[in-house]
Amino acid sequence: MNHVLFNSDAIDMMRQLQDNSVTMTLTDIPYAVINREGGIRNMDKGDADVLTFDLHDFVEEIIRVTSGSIYIFCSSEQVSGIRKQLDDRLTTRHCIWEKTNPSPMHGQRFWLSSIENCVFARKAKATFNEHCQSAVWRESVERSIKNHPTPKSVLLMKRLIEASTNPNDIVLDPCMGSGSVGIACKLTDRQFWGCDISPEYVTAAKERIDCLDIEDNPWIKKLRKREKL
């Protein structure tokens, strides 16, 4: 299966792609927060959380290059702007990832931070292989990933890929970080085109995707057992 990893700015990379050249875009952008004065407040996860591109241009490029479905994980502050931009032309849904094992707060009297937001949009002829499923996705956080501060659940990525593509289709993640979407593509026989501006994360993603070939990798064994792969 064809997997291509780019070390580049996401918008520059997408500008090299033809219209509708990927089946699905599944991405997880830096969760920087826009403050009341309109400035950007980056969160506390280091470089991975710094919004280094114009979000409007980024979403425009995703709409142009994607022929089927679009999933953009983002902060709650980013949801309405992204959804409004997509809503003008596509059918959209606000989806939630409910983490079934959220981080504990050491007894504090407060609700746990146990959800993440995702804006979904689809073009008219997009594949959709699930029927009447909730837009709240329940899946655990994989805490064993040490090479990125904000990795997404491979099992959740796998579910979304299987819902919105077929084998051999191309899935793009222009902000791939440690490559969770790429691993899910490899497990499901989809082609993966991934990009990250950080050379360290591109290396980390390559190592994680390549290590799937190592049959005695304990994490992969656990995943395969649970998923009956």
Residues in the chain: 229
178 binds ligand SAM (CB under 6 A): yes
Nearer to ligand SAM, 21 or 203 (CB): 203
Closest residue by Cα to residue 49 from 57, 41, 61: 41
95 binds ligand SAM (CB under 6 A): no
175 binds ligand SAM (CB under 6 A): yes
Cβ(51)–Cβ(30) below 8 Å = yes
Nearer to ligand SAM, 178 or 188 (CB): 178
48 binds ligand SAM (CB under 6 A): yes
Cα distance between residue 65 and residue 178, in whole Å: 22
Which residue is nearest to ligand SAM, using beta carbons? Answer: 177
Site for ligand SAM in 114-173 (CB under 6 A): 148, 150-152
Cβ(69)–Cβ(122) below 8 Å = yes
Three-state secondary structure call for residue 14: helix
Site for ligand SAM in 189-208 (CB under 6 A): 195-198, 201
What single string gives the DSSP state of each residue in 138-197? EE---TT--S-SSPPPHHHHHHHHHHH--TT-EEEETT-TTTHHHHHHHHHT-EEEEEES
Binding-site member from 52, 67, 203, 217 for ligand SAM (CB under 6 A):
52
74 binds ligand SAM (CB under 6 A): no
Kindly list the residues in this chain that would bind ligand SAM in the complex (CB under 6 A): 9-10, 28, 30, 47-48, 52-53, 148, 150-152, 174-175, 177-178, 180, 195-198, 201
